[in-house]
Homo-oligomer: A and B are copies of this chain.
Amino acid sequence: MSEETYNAPTEIKELEIFNTIELEDYAKEVMPHGGFDYLAGASGEEYTRKRNVESFKSKGILPRVLADVEFPETDTKIFEHDLKVPFIMAPIAAHGLAHETKEAGTAKGISEFGGTIMSISAYSGATFSEIEEGLNGNPRWFQIYMSKDDQLNKNILDEAKADGATAIILTADATISGNRDRDDKNHFVYPFGMPIVSRYLTGSGENMSLNNIYAQSKQKITPKDVEFIKEYSGLPVFVKGIQTPEDALKAIGAGADGVWVSNHGGRQLDEAPGSFEVLEEISEAVAGRVPIVFDSGVRRGEHIFKALASGADIVALGRPVLFGLALGGWKGVKSVLEYFEEDLKRVMQLAGAQTIDDIKHTRLKDMNNWQ
């Protein structure tokens, strides 16, 4: 599979979205098979991927009435950024699989929506300058996959900083690839290069498998890497992929400025809990010392609400945005973000929460037999 033969979708249009679950089915129809499976798939039997979404049902929202709510307010703040919504874009590799405009398309959708942050993946298929064409000054964070060579890491951080990144996300749960059956069966290789990390690859990234690329990145991610990134970049550092209170404290101890609760959308270790299932205990351990970003499985306004009520400060969106990109380019991305904003506001109104802070003080109900 090469760039010549990979025909990424090209359409740019607004989407009428009833729910983001269905977007996956629609995206499947327009995306090349291998690219779709890469994006939609996960590791093992994809139990954890499915459980990410389903385990939100382990807690029920209790609608509160007589609550004096009207036109709920979704604005919040993370570090220096004033956000109009409590969700941002999660880092995802290779947007070019979903749309020919690659990360620049996503970026434009985000900047047109406004009031939120784009996470740029080191495994981006677009260059920083290409992405900036779409992002147009919008705030961005940079997610690093580290090289085994720290000099190269410095180079990457230099570039990211020059590009305007205001925080670095260290993805710590992906030192190698999970066992992604779909990709293995499809013999999937990236149809284009990865300009940001190609400096440490034996090639551009094009025609390379995920396993191969991961193998050339750094495996031994330790607290020292947190310190290194923080010191060298001078930027706040998130450790992404936290699933235990122990690791949250370890990250904070190493100087992390934020904890990013995620299981990589179920793409790394299967038979792990749903990410939402571990959020509350992590939040209790963190106890407000640093902000918590949460991702994996978010598909509805209810999910954002539940994550915030369980201790998250910000929710990151992944696959649904990419499916929107596949279906409508930057306009599709914007439609997805607008859907989440509207859906969250509806949930807030019905749940009786005027503000994000109200959500954080909402009691959820533990549900039995939620499957």
Main secondary structure of the interface of A (DSSP, over half): loop
| Given the contacts A219-B69, A247-B65, A343-B179, A60 and B272 also touching, CB distance less than 8 Å | yes
> Which residues of B lie under 8 Å from residue A185 when comparing CB positions?
18
Inter-chain contacts of A62 with B (CB < 8 A): 243-244, 272-273, 278
| Number of this chain's copies in the complex | 4
Interface 0/1 of A165-187, CB less than 8 Å to B: 00000001101101101001100
CB-contact partner of A18 in B184, B302, B367, B370, under 8 A: B184
Contact A239 B66 (CB under 8 A): yes
Query: Which A residues have a C-beta under 8 Å from some C-beta of B?
Result: 18-19, 21, 44-45, 47, 56-58, 60-71, 172-173, 175-176, 178-179, 181, 184-185, 219-223, 225-226, 239, 241-244, 246-247, 250-251, 254, 263, 268-273, 277-278, 300-302, 306, 343, 346-347, 349-351, 363, 365, 367-371
For the complex of A and B, 8 pairs with smallest distance between CB atoms: A65-B172, A60-B273, A70-B219, A269-B350, A271-B302, A68-B222, A70-B220, A18-B181
Please give 18 more A-B residue pairs, beta carbons under 8 A apart, in addition to A19-B44, A19-B45, A369-B369: A19-B181, A58-B369, A60-B273, A61-B271, A62-B278, A63-B173, A63-B263, A63-B272, A64-B244, A65-B239, A65-B247, A66-B221, A66-B250, A66-B251, A70-B220, A179-B346, A270-B300, A277-B365
